Amino acid sequence: MATTTDSSNTSATTTTENATSKTIKIQSNDGETHEIDQGVVEQSSTIKTLSDLMDLGDVPIPLPNVKGSILTPIVEFCNYHKNDPKPEPLDDDDDDDPNKDIYEPKRSDDICEWDQNFIKRFTVQEGTLFDIIMATVGCKTIANMVRGKASSEVREMFNISYDPPGEGLNAPNAIESQAGTVPTTQDTSATGPSPQPDPMN
């Protein structure tokens, strides 16, 4: 699997200048454990949050979404990139250009050579390219956030502006208003037949 491993990462793994000596163990869903140092931990909000929350000691953090065959290259990737400058905040650029299409594809030709070689290991055919995306854990997290929410709440949660197709057919209050005046209390149970005329007669 890892035959194409780039040797350039070995120098990165040995550098510890911005990291403390503290290391953390992580474990893939098939039981493979890796030891990562603080510089790597900083790159994963999930692992960082977990390690900040509790003193784990020697217990490995389980990563149930990640296979061992995918975790190894991820650790390698994080080790290579742990000294990269922090990315700029995302909401910076579209303030200066309000007309910018937010759906405009991002530039994809600025991937550095190491990353290009790295990503070549993963293919669509084997599904590993999607596994590496999945390993960001985000998909499942977002799915969990959405569960049990109304679409209006989802809209609010993700700052999605409402754009009704047609004439507000699915407006947030459309259903409520169409439903009319239905007693919300339980007192109808005692009142017997409906006072309105029976539609059958």
Partner 1 sequence: MSRDVTSSLLTLPVELIYRILDNLDDFTFLCSTRNVCQRLNYITDAYHRYQTLTTLDLSEYQIEDQGTQHLAHALTNDTIISAINLTNNKIHDQGIAYLTAALKNNTTLTKLNLQCNSIEDQGAKRLADILLNNTVLHDKQIFVLSIFILHPGIDDTQP
Among 103, 107, 113, 125, the residue binding partner 1 under the rule CB under 8 A is 103
Based on the shown chain and the rule CB under 8 A, indicate whether residue 161 belongs to the binding site for partner 1.
yes
Residue from the set 55, 88, 95, 110 that interacts with partner 1 by CB under 8 A:
95
For residues 4 and 164, which CB has a smaller minimum distance to partner 1 in the complex?
164
Of 36, 130, 132, 135, the residue at the interface with partner 1 (CB under 8 A) is 130
Asked if residue 182 binds partner 1 (CB under 8 A), the reply is yes
Please, which residue, 84 or 198, has the CB nearer to partner 1? 198
Say if strands 23-28 and 33-37 run parallel, antiparallel, or are unpaired. Answer: antiparallel
| By the rule CB under 8 A, 90 interacts with partner 1 | yes
CA–CA gap between residue 86 and residue 120 (Å, rounded) = 25
Candidates 11, 122, 12; CA nearest to 67 is: 122
Cα separation of the two ends of the chain: 76
**Helix H or strand E encompassing 74:** helix 68-81
Give the residue with the Cβ less far from partner 1, 22 or 103. 103
Do residues 29 and 65 lie in contact, with contact meaning Cβ atoms separated by under 8 Å?
yes
Whole-angstrom Cα distance, residue 9 to residue 105? 30
Structure tokens of 28? 């893939």
163/70 Cα distance (integer angstroms): 39
Measure the CA angle with vertex 199, ends 194 and 201; round to 5°. Answer: 105
160 binds partner 1 (CB under 8 A): yes
Report phi then psi at 178, rounded to 5. -70, -30
Regarding 97 and contact with partner 1 (CB under 8 A), the answer is no
Part of the chain binding partner 1 (CB under 8 A), chosen from 2-10, 43-51, 54-62, 94-102: 94-102
33 binds partner 1 (CB under 8 A): no
What is the signed CA dihedral for 61, 63, 69, 71, rounded to 10 degrees? -60
**Does position 165 bind partner 1 by CB under 8 A?**
yes
* Residue 113 is a binding residue for partner 1 (CB under 8 A): no
Residues in contact with partner 1 by CB under 8 A are 90-91, 94-95, 98, 102-103, 130, 133-134, 139-140, 142-144, 146-151, 153-155, 158-163, 165-166, 169-170, 174-176, 178-180, 182-184, 188-189, 192-194, 196, 198-200
